[in-house]
């Protein structure tokens, strides 16, 4: 669905360019051209795969999530849409110095002023231990402030997360080694290919029944990558929670149920304070108070809310996939029904023979192979394998024949 949507948007933008480019004064810098170039950079990642070596849950991790995180990262670095990442209002001639200082060292808001309707989080701070006027003190988290140290690192963290989400895919692609592509070559079209002949069939059957148990390792590695996907998404949630100083794990629930202080204001404030220190003419330390606008936080609050729900969804479907894989391993009868559902009109007898007489690794590889074969070719292959398993004399069988690498 994502591939189809992106391709449609891409073609639409090209058509808009063709029809309306005469009205654009500078096409090279137009938003449409920038968007086309941006989508063009993802063509290799969103291209439709001819050979499927994994499943849809796996694709949610290395394809959809990686694209989402990279898009978010690029979006946050686009000055064209959001301007400078920080702008501070201060009565000081060197405003650029204040902006740079507050960007590097971070800004803060005052916890006990988050309920204010005007200048939320920016009110004067009164030391709760003092009944007098506001005292001069060192600001820290114990004194009731929330710092915004994460602000300049968001896009880098998104890129790092995208890399982590792709690692299981890289491992599986390396371990799989193109085995399915070699076996399913030219056999996946809508019509029965001419290459599906007796010699090809016997070669494929002999490979499947070679009895060397190499497919057990194949299935184990795939299950490990699925486990890695689940562990990774849980670690990403914990990483986000650490990154936002413990405010991510409950972020979505807090927004859905808040009554009073908006969690978005506390976690991603748009207006913050910054204190700049310098030496005065006499050598004493002077401080300058500034109010800073963080325009990217109006985007961050939405992006992190989306990621909260997305990571929750990923963790649930990944856990379901692990339970599904364990069920497939432990209950051969489940494999029989899966095989019958995968190859329509396959008899119960043939499905039962196959699932009872081959290892789990062989079954898993055969199941994966079926995703890449023509339906009739796959059914013919399964019937032939069942026939060989019941009576080895029905087709020539040579256990020494293996897949050429």
Range of the domain at 83: 79-152+239-308
Average pLDDT, stretch 126-149? 50
**What domain count does the chain have?**
2
The yes-or-no verdict on residue 144 having pLDDT over 90 is no
Tokens of 310: 């997305």
Among the ranges given (54-58, 242-246, 364-368), the one the predictor scored with the smallest mean pLDDT? 242-246
Are residues 250 and 136 part of one domain?
A: yes
The yes-or-no verdict on residue 32 having pLDDT over 70 is no
Distance CA 314, CA 6 (A): 21
Residue tagged 């200082």 (tokens): 101
Are residues 39 and 84 part of one domain?
A: no
pLDDT score, position 316: 97
Are residues 112 and 2 part of one domain?
A: no
Pairing status of strand 145-147 against strand 87-89: unpaired
| 390 domain-assigned | no
Distance CA 386, CA 68 (A): 44
Q: Write down how long the chain is.
A: 405
Are residues 22 and 147 part of one domain?
A: no
Average pLDDT, stretch 53-64? 92
Q: Which residue would you say has higher pLDDT here, 224 or 39?
A: 224
| 96 domain-assigned | yes
Instruction: Tell me which of 276, 291, 308 is where a domain ends.
Output: 308
Are residues 299 and 254 part of one domain?
A: yes
| 355 domain-assigned | no
| 160 domain-assigned | no
Of 243, 275, 12, 55, give the one whose Cα is nearest residue 149. 243
Are residues 250 and 110 part of one domain?
A: yes
Are residues 112 and 5 part of one domain?
A: no
Tokens of 280: 């005065």
Other Cβ atoms closer than 10 A to 72: 23
| 403 domain-assigned | no
| pLDDT category of residue 309 using cuts at 50, 70 and 90 | very high
pLDDT score, position 311: 97
Residue 311: partners with Cβ closer than 8 Å, 6 or more residues away: 233, 236, 237, 240
CB 188 within 8 A of CB 335: no
Are residues 252 and 146 part of one domain?
A: yes
| 303 domain-assigned | yes
pLDDT score, position 128: 42
Residue 234: partners with Cβ closer than 8 Å, 6 or more residues away: 315
Percentage with pLDDT > 90 across the chain: 26
pLDDT single digits (tens) 12-23:
444 434 543 443
pLDDT single digits (tens) 146-156:
777 788 889 89
Instruction: Tell me which of 308, 325, 343 is where a domain ends.
Output: 308
Tokens of 376: 């009739």
Average pLDDT, stretch 318-327? 95
Are residues 138 and 42 part of one domain?
A: no
What average pLDDT does the structure give for the chain? 77
Are residues 256 and 143 part of one domain?
A: yes
pLDDT single digits (tens) 179-203:
988 888 877 777 777 777 788 888 8
Instruction: Tell me which of 293, 308, 323 is where a domain ends.
Output: 308
Are residues 83 and 148 part of one domain?
A: yes
* Bridge partners (DSSP) listed for residue 145: 110
| 159 domain-assigned | no
Three state DSSP letters for the chain: CHHHHHHHHHHHHHHHHHHHHHHCCCHHHCHHHHHHHHHHCCHHHHCCCCCCCCCHHHHHHHHHHHHHHHHHHHHHCCHHHHCCCCEEECCCCCHHHHHHHHHHHCCEEEHHHCCCCCCCCCCCCCCCCCCCCCCCCCCCHHHCEEECCCHHHHHHHHHHHHHHHHHHHHHHHHHHCCHHHHHCCCCCCCCCCCCCCHHHHHHHHHHHCCCCCHHHHHHHHHHHHHHHHHHHHHHHHHHHHHHCCCCCCCHHHHHHHCCCCCHHHHHCCCEEEEEEEEECCCCCEEEEEEEEECCCHHHHHHHHHHHHHHHHHHHHHHHHHHHHHHHHHHCHHHHHHHHHHHCCCCCHHHHHHHHHHCCHHHHHHHHHHHCCCCHHHHHHHHHHHHHHHHCCCCCCCCCCCCCCC
| pLDDT category of residue 164 using cuts at 50, 70 and 90 | very high
Are residues 273 and 148 part of one domain?
A: yes
| 67 domain-assigned | no
Cα separations in angstroms, 99 against 116, 154, 291, 293: 25, 18, 10, 10
């Amino acid at each position: 669905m994502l591939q189809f949507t992106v391709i449609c948007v891409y073609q639409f933008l090209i058509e808009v360019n063709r029809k309306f480019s005469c009205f654009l004064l500078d096409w090279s810098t137009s938003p449409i051209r920038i968007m086309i170039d941006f989508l063009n950079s993802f063509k290799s990642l969103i291209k439709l795969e001819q050979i499927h070596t994994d499943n849809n849950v796996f694709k949610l991790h290395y394809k959809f999530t990686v694209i989402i995180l990279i898009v978010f990262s690029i979006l946050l670095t686009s000055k064209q849409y959001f301007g400078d990442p920080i702008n501070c209002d201060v009565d000081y001639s060197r405003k650029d110095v204040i902006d740079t200082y507050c960007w590097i060292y971070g800004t803060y808001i005052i916890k006990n002023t988050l309920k204010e309707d005007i200048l939320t989080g920016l009110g004067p701070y009164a030391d709760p231990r003092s009944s007098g006027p506001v005292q001069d003190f060192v600001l820290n988290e114990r004194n009731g402030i929330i710092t915004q140290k994460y602000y300049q690192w968001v896009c880098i963290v998104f890129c790092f997360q995208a890399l982590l989400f792709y690692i299981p895919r890289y491992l599986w692609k390396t371990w799989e080694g193109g085995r399915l592509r070699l076996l399913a070559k030219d056999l996946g079209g809508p019509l029965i290919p001419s290459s599906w002949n007796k010699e090809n069939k016997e070669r494929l059957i002999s490979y499947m029944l070679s009895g060397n148990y190499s497919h057990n390792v194949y299935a184990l590695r795939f299950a490990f990558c699925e486990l890695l996907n689940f562990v990774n998404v849980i670690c990403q949630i914990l990483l986000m929670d650490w990154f936002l100083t413990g405010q991510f794990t409950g972020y979505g629930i807090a927004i859905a149920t808040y009554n009073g202080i908006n969690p978005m204001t506390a976690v991603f404030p748009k207006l913050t304070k910054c204190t700049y220190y310098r030496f005065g003419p006499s050598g004493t330390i002077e401080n300058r108070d500034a109010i800073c606008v963080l325009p990217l936080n109006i985007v961050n609050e939405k992006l992190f809310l989306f990621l909260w729900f997305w990571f929750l969804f990923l963790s649930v479907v990944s856990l379901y996939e692990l339970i599904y894989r364990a069920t497939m391993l432990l209950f051969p009868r489940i494999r029989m029904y899966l095989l019958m559902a995968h190859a329509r009109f396959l008899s119960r007898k043939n499905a039962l023979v196959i699932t009872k007489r081959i290892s789990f690794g062989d079954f898993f590889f055969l199941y994966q192979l079926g995703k890449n074969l023509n339906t009739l070719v796959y059914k013919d292959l399964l019937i032939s394998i069942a026939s060989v398993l019941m009576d080895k004399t029905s087709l020539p069988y040579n256990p020494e024949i293996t897949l050429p690498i």
